[in-house]
Amino acid sequence: MKINGQRLIDDLKYLREITATPGQGVTRFSYTEEDGRAREYLARIANEYGFSMETDSVGNIRVCPPESKGSLIIGSHIDTVRNGGWLDGIYGVMSGMEVLRTFADNGVHTDAAVMVYAEEEGSVFGSTMTGSKFLTGKYTADDLTALTDDSGVTLKEHLAECGYLTEDASGSSLPLAVNPADIECALELHIEQGPVMDAEGLQIGIVDTVFGMHVLEVTYSGLGNHAGASPMKGRRDSMSAFAEAVLAIEKVALEAGCGVVATIGKVSVSPGGSNVIPDSVRFTVDIRSNDDGHTSDAVERIRKTVCEIADGRNVECAVRDVADSSAIPFSRKVIEGMAALAEEQGIIYKVMDSGAVHDTAMLAPFTDAGMMFVPSINGRSHVPEEDTDEDDLVRGAQFLMDYILRSQSSH
Ligand code: HGY
Ligand code: MN
Ligand code: MN
């Protein structure tokens, strides 16, 4: 059964234009007007095919064909980073929609459904995989007020504004799109977002382990003052402390080896005048590896290092743990099934880890979960240059279709 590759590419090209930063990549933050327009596009397809489309209290979406039990979920996300690419997340969602449409077009039953996990990037609330963390109980109703955007507005307020949180959420009364206990298999098709497949000429990546991650937020508070009238000696400069910390953190990651990565991607300076010594600098540190021991060693070394730098410069240091998730291995059954299919089809594939995190990993403790990758040109992602050959995009979606057909027929 062949998917309609052109329809998939046309969908992706249409959705690429739903961005808050036209001409500068795709910016489609959760709970914004752009997010709403992408949801409307999904609703139009669901309506045309008579699929149900439910949105839960945190904004996760479930699209399900009328006869389907929805026991196999094909998931990903529609939100992006700022000035991101046109494929991250949305490729997996639209490939899932293409699979459901292909089954319907051919009059073949499936128990598959598509899941859109809300706020996967954490671009608004700082925590990745937010929707799937609620679905799997890592986050509870208490986190609706604990998670806030940069201006202090809580997730709960955003959700109420979008109309998703219709009742006063408390404890287990948070209505969610699926109960992981009802899921027999969770799959995700995604771009690799790294250099391996492009460099090695691979067609399909089969994911073994998704990296664990830990995000710290560090705030240095020094003494704000006049840039010209303050002698260099005796300054308590939080910007200089930040600069020293950046290079020290890089050194910790390089010395850790074992594939540990650490990134400082977001920094804010107060008050932010060119003629003012900052009174504070706040920055995030995103630390990851495929082994929780290595990740936590690096986290603790970095926590200690940033505090020592503060002491040495007589600035205060506050460290907040923003988000974390363990390194998660996918189901051997799914990995072996995908590898067997790739062998049979003569596809050039590799079983590999994922440095990027993905919602389907949150479901892995509850069900047979697995992921497949297609190459990213030049290994770029989370940038406007993110791209994948159309043949690779169609091959990936067809592989997803074939894997589902195979697993359905073996039931
Ligand atoms: O950060 C990640 O790995 C994912 O893109 N949210
Ligand atoms: Mn993604
Ligand atoms: Mn991403």
What pLDDT, on a 0 to 100 scale, did the predictor assign at position 77?
Answer: 98
Both 278 and 239 in a single domain? yes
Over the stretch 98-107, which tens digit does the pLDDT of each residue have? Answer: 999 999 999 9
Both 126 and 221 in a single domain? no
Both 26 and 144 in a single domain? yes
Both 127 and 269 in a single domain? no
- Which of 188, 199, 213 has the alpha carbon at shortest distance from 350? 199
What pLDDT, on a 0 to 100 scale, did the predictor assign at position 203?
Answer: 98
Alpha carbon of 80 to ligand 1 centroid (Å): 9
How many other C-beta atoms lie within 10 A of the C-beta of residue 145? 12
The kind and range of the H/E element at 368 are: strand 368-374
Nearest-CA residue for ligand 1 atom 6 is 121
Over the stretch 188-202, which tens digit does the pLDDT of each residue have? Answer: 999 999 999 999 999
Tokens linked to 69? 């039990």
Both 148 and 220 in a single domain? no
Indicate if ligand 1 lies below 6 Å from the C-beta of 128: yes
Nearest-CA residue for ligand 1 atom 3 is 356
Both 232 and 204 in a single domain? no
CATH assignment of the domain containing 390: 3.40.630.10
C-alpha 411/C-alpha 405 separation (Å) is: 10
DSSP-assigned letters across all residues of 151-218: TS-BHHHHHHHHT---S---GGG---S--GGG-SEEEEEEE--SSHHHHHT-SEEEEEEEPEEEEEEE
Both 174 and 56 in a single domain? yes
Give the pLDDT mean for 301-310. 98
Indicate if ligand 1 lies below 6 Å from the C-beta of 360: no
Q: Which of 325, 358, 388 is the last residue of a domain?
A: 325
Over the stretch 239-276, which tens digit does the pLDDT of each residue have? Answer: 999 999 999 999 999 999 999 999 999 999 999 999 99
Atom of ligand 1 nearest to the CA of 355: 3
Both 204 and 240 in a single domain? no
Confidence tier at 169 by pLDDT (50, 70, 90): low
Q: Which residues pair with 269 in a beta bridge?
A: 281
Look at residue 175 and tell me whether its pLDDT is greater than 80: no
Over the stretch 318-364, which tens digit does the pLDDT of each residue have? Answer: 999 999 999 999 999 999 999 999 999 999 999 999 999 999 999 99
Q: Which of 269, 291, 325 is the last residue of a domain?
A: 325
Both 307 and 234 in a single domain? yes
Look at residue 118 and tell me whether its pLDDT is greater than 80: yes
Both 55 and 128 in a single domain? yes
Taking the CA atoms of the chain, what radius of gyration do you get in angstroms? 22
Indicate if ligand 1 lies below 6 Å from the C-beta of 192: no
* 232: three-class secondary structure by DSSP: coil
C-alpha 326/C-alpha 227 separation (Å) is: 44
Mutate to test the pocket of ligand 1, among 120, 285, 287, 362 (most ligand atoms within 8 A of CB): 120
Atom of ligand 1 nearest to the CA of 121: 6
- Which ligand number lies closest to the CA of residue 91? 2
- Which ligand number lies closest to the CA of residue 93? 2
* 270: three-class secondary structure by DSSP: strand
Indicate if ligand 1 lies below 6 Å from the C-beta of 213: no
Confidence (pTM): 0.96
Rounded alpha-carbon distances, angstroms, from residue 99 to 22, 94, 111, 120, 405:
29, 9, 11, 22, 10
Taking ligand 3, which is a single-atom ion, which protein residues have CB atoms under 5 Å away?
A: 88
Alpha carbon of 88 to ligand 2 centroid (Å): 5
Number of domain units in the chain: 2
What pLDDT, on a 0 to 100 scale, did the predictor assign at position 239?
Answer: 98
C-alpha 342/C-alpha 142 separation (Å) is: 44
Confidence tier at 176 by pLDDT (50, 70, 90): confident
> φ, ψ for residue 148 (rounded to 5)?
-130, 155
CATH assignment of the domain containing 315: 3.30.70.360
Indicate if ligand 1 lies below 6 Å from the C-beta of 121: yes
C-alpha 252/C-alpha 146 separation (Å) is: 30
- Which ligand number lies closest to the CA of residue 116? 2
- Which of 308, 316, 320 has the alpha carbon at shortest distance from 245? 308
Over the stretch 4-39, which tens digit does the pLDDT of each residue have? Answer: 999 999 999 999 999 999 999 999 999 999 999 999
Tokens linked to 339? 């590898």
Indicate if ligand 1 lies below 6 Å from the C-beta of 286: no
Q: Which of 296, 325, 354 is the last residue of a domain?
A: 325
Indicate if ligand 1 lies below 6 Å from the C-beta of 387: no
Both 229 and 362 in a single domain? no
Neighbouring residues of 380: CB distance < 8 A, sequence distance ≥ 6: 85, 386, 387
What pLDDT, on a 0 to 100 scale, did the predictor assign at position 170?
Answer: 59
- Which of 203, 179, 204 has the alpha carbon at shortest distance from 73? 179
Mutate to test the pocket of ligand 1, among 82, 357, 362 (most ligand atoms within 8 A of CB): 357
- Which ligand number lies closest to the CA of residue 78? 2
Both 404 and 352 in a single domain? yes
Alpha carbon of 311 to ligand 2 centroid (Å): 38
Atom of ligand 1 nearest to the CA of 288: 3
Host domain of residue 255: 212-325
